[in-house]
Amino acid sequence: MKKNIVIGTRGSKLALWQAEHIAGRISERFPAIEVTLKRIVTTGDKILDVPLAKIGGKGLFTKELENAMLSGEIDLAVHSLKDMPTELPEGLMLAAITTRADASDAFVSLRYKSLDELPQGAKVGTSSLRRRAQILKYRPDALTIDLRGNLDTRIKKLENQEMDAIILAAAGLKRLGLEQYITQILPNEICLPAVGQGALAIETRQDDPEVLSVLEFLNDSETIAAVTAERAYLREVQGGCQVPVGVYGKVSGGHLLLEATILKIDGTREVRAQIDGSCSEAEELGIKLAQQMLAAGGKEILDEVEY
């Protein structure tokens, strides 16, 4: 049994909470293992004045951590699964995916109780093309503004009245004890979440059987089925870049319902569909739904995306 495990983490409050949460669970299960954290700054943490979609999307928050894993500097990294590219570097793998928290997006406003209550032309902050497209579909009069930075920074911009509302992942707010800021949980009918939103992913080296065996207990089978379908869908649709795509898998009694949307960034066109089947077919269901939606006009919409 390994005596020491080093977890690499970004320095944000949420990243540290996630790393400490997993460290705590490992220590509780294996008290003989010493677990330490090592902070690593990623490209996504350094570049805060450019929209994510223009500088590469998901891999911005993982590349430096992955390099540290491959060099042996750290043993594993804890990520929000929604930040993980669908293709991982050679030699690395997702060793565990935890029980999913709330996958929803949250509407946060200090003056308005819901998306419906916003006045005409309200300023809504979000860093996500997916959120922007779905908000504009529901409220085409809204003015969406790019919003970068950690949760504290984003909430501060709201408090400074730079924006009327912001859209954030509910799970992140709840994990940091900031539930009081959630004004409305957006239903899937309005805003389908990002792939893997609400789940934590633990990435490590493929050739480290000791660490892999330690992490095995963290896996949640229902969450794995849902996010396997979601990630297969995203991989089939476009790979790893940020695009206006939402997808959510719901598992019940070994049955998987997968719903997805592809939208124009201005919300004026949408292809939306769902598919269901056995959890054992999760990968195939994700691929099949993606192919159906691309053929139904989704490919045309994605081909027109300009960042």
* Three-state secondary structure readout of 177-225: CCHHHCCEECCCCCCCCCCCCCCEEEEEECCCHHHHHHHHHHCCHHHHH
CA distance 119 to 142: 8
* One-letter amino acid for residue 130 of the chain: R
CA distance 166 to 289: 30
Residue 208 designated active-site: no
Q: Are residues 253 and 206 in the same domain?
A: no
Query: How many other C-beta atoms can be found within 10 angstroms of the C-beta atom of residue 233?
Result: 27
Residue 25 contacts residue 78 (beta carbons within 8 Å): no
Q: Which domain holds residue 139?
A: 105-185
Q: Are residues 79 and 114 in the same domain?
A: no
Q: For residue 190, is it within any domain?
A: no
Q: Are residues 9 and 27 in the same domain?
A: yes
Q: Are residues 94 and 154 in the same domain?
A: no
CA distance 222 to 130: 24
Q: State the CATH number of the domain containing residue 260.
A: 3.30.160.40
Q: Are residues 138 and 22 in the same domain?
A: no
CA distance 116 to 139: 8
| Mean pLDDT per 10-residue segment, the chain (307 residues) | 91 94 98 97 60 55 89 95 89 97 96 96 93 97 88 83 92 94 97 97 96 97 98 86 89 96 96 98 98 96 81
Q: What is the pLDDT of residue 31?
A: 96
Q: Are residues 94 and 211 in the same domain?
A: yes
CA distance 178 to 10: 20
Helix (H, G, I), strand (E, B) or coil at 92: strand
What are the tokens at 47? Answer: 């570049």
Q: For residue 257, is it within any domain?
A: yes
Residue 186 contacts residue 115 (beta carbons within 8 Å): yes
Q: Are residues 158 and 282 in the same domain?
A: no
Q: What is the pLDDT of residue 58?
A: 53
Report the number of distinct structural domains present in the chain: 3
Q: Are residues 33 and 159 in the same domain?
A: no
Q: Are residues 60 and 119 in the same domain?
A: no
Q: What is the pLDDT of residue 158?
A: 87
CA distance 109 to 117: 10
Q: For residue 163, is it within any domain?
A: yes
Q: What is the pLDDT of residue 94?
A: 96
Q: Are residues 166 and 238 in the same domain?
A: no
Q: Are residues 12 and 88 in the same domain?
A: yes
CA distance 209 to 215: 10
Q: For residue 191, is it within any domain?
A: no
Q: What is the pLDDT of residue 160?
A: 83
CA distance 164 to 118: 8
| Among candidate residues 83, 87, 166, 82, the one with its CA nearest the CA of residue 132 | 166
Q: State the CATH number of the domain containing residue 79.
A: 3.40.190.10
Q: Are residues 114 and 247 in the same domain?
A: no
Pairing of strands 105-108, 92-97: unpaired
| Among candidate residues 271, 131, 245, the one with its CA nearest the CA of residue 190 | 131
Q: What is the pLDDT of residue 293?
A: 98
Q: For residue 227, is it within any domain?
A: no
Tokens 């896996």 appear where? 219
Q: What is the pLDDT of residue 127?
A: 83
What are the tokens at 294? Answer: 């691309």
* pTM listed for this prediction: 0.91
Catalytic residue among 75, 83, 164, 208: 83
Tell me the C-alpha to C-alpha distance, in Å, between residue 185 and each of 98, 121, 170, 228: 22, 21, 7, 24
